[in-house]
Amino acid sequence: MFFSFRHRTENIPFPLLLFLLSISIQTSQVNCKCNKGCKLALGSYKVWQGSNLNLVSKLFSVQTSTLFSWNTHVMPDQDYLLTGARINIPFSCDCINGDFLAHIFSYSISDGDTYDRVSSHYYSNLTTLVWLQRFNSYQENNLPPNVIMNVTVNCSCGDKRVSKDYGLFITWPTGDGEDTLESVASANNLSADVVRKFNPTANFSAGSGLLYIPGKDRSGSYRPLKSAGLSGGAMAGISAAALGLLFFAGSLYLLVYGKRKEDKIFSEYRFQQAAPVTTVTDPVSNGVAEGAAPQLSCITVVKSVEFSYEELAKATNDFSLANKIGEGGFGSVYYAELRGEKAAIKKMEMQETREFVAELKVLTNVHHLNLVRLIGYCVEGSLFLVYEYIDNGNLSQHLRGSGRIPVSWSTRVQIALDSARGLEYIHEHTVPVYIHRDIKSSNILIDRNFHAKVADFGLTKFAEVGSLSLFTHLVGTFGYMPPDD
């Protein structure tokens, strides 16, 4: 389906566009709880019996030499960890979805693991059961082995309202009632007042939860808080100046260019067709499977599992109608359970190689909480993409009453924000940037907590960062179009 971008915008007055843009400037920071993180935070990791430096290194994806350099005060050498001691784990503190500060680590699930074991044992209470359940779709007591789990560890970058003397913070788990305000302050050579001010909502009598404690760097010094940027007054002045400039530009447009034809306003949007090469870790490059399209001979995939046709057929009862859960613009979707994990398998025809490759390239390189996760693929006989199973259907089903629970307005707003975060990520925070080109309610999946994930990247295009060109038309699969005015 093709629709003209000009056709959709020709009846919108330019001053209205300026007004909408000014609104976006004024509200760009509304509902944003963080706008950036910091390069360094620390996690206080309590060593459990049987752990070693190599294991801790793998859990947090940090080199053993780096761990040792941060903990020479408690480690006589790299071969010895004292059970019960606390060691500092360095990591970057990121702003997750504009909502909170944390770092998301990847943990490979082993047989017998549970959310509780991962949070309280392996990660020594740096994460919680609630976080693991929120950022993973696996059943609590049925975690599939050899699958990656998201482990979210909260962090802090400081608070200039409390003190600018401290810019490096330790995430400090408390537990078993052994950590009191006084004991935590004493262990870090700080006053109880400083600890309390940086943790105003902490319940110190509960003896559990996370605290954020000013920490020292490897030289043994406290790092001062770096300037966060422009002050509120400066930002207000810049915003006012930007609004004035916008309206001046609008007036200039109306005077000089208002009578020109639209064909001279909208330049052709040309995406760069040469997409980046995906590096090889899991090969299709060693030879194309029987029945695969010739174009697939150069496809190589990162962080995705290559499934055999036999495994997919067995998991879907030979792609029976009983397992069919949907029909998309580029193929049928089937429910399956693969290697202990619920999955959705999209079956595509060989002539849809371009769409298959587009999804593969995007989802093997881009990972975000509001984008559907790709598990693997198969290129035998047909083209198959294996995704995480999102068990609450898509937005279209909820809006149109197709056997799904109607969603409240507050939930709709949450779904819209989740979708926007996912799109913002691929539009602005990836290299290269990606344009989805097929956003509609049926491509917004809803999980059991009514959070949204953007799906169906078959029409995605790559674009160079900073490109100034515009669309000449939009493309998409069949979906909702508003009636003409």
- Residues 6+ away with beta carbon under 8 Å from 5: 266, 470, 471, 472, 473, 474
Say how far apart CA 346 and CA 202 lie, in whole Å: 47
Rounded Cα distance, 379 and 360, in Å = 12
Any idea what the Cα angle at residue 36 is, between residues 31 and 39, rounded to 5°?
155
Distance CA(246)–CA(160), nearest Å, equals 33
Three-state DSSP string of 162-231? CCCCCCCEEEEEECCCCCCHHHHHHHCCCCHHHHHHHCCCCCCCCCCEEEEEECECCCCCECCCCCCCCC
The residues with which 334 forms a beta bridge, in sequence order, are 324, 345
- For residue 153, the SS3 value is strand
The catalytic position among 94, 113, 418, 438 is 438
Distance (Å) of CA 460 to CA 140, 221, 355, 374, 482: 34, 48, 8, 15, 22
Q: How far apart are CA 86 and CA 92, in angstroms?
A: 19
Distance between CA atoms of residues 122 and 120, nearest Å: 6
Residue 77 bears catalytic tag: no
The token pair at 289 is 């499977």
Q: Which residues are annotated as a binding site for ATP?
A: 347
- Which parts are annotated binding residues? 347
Active-site residues, by number, are: 438
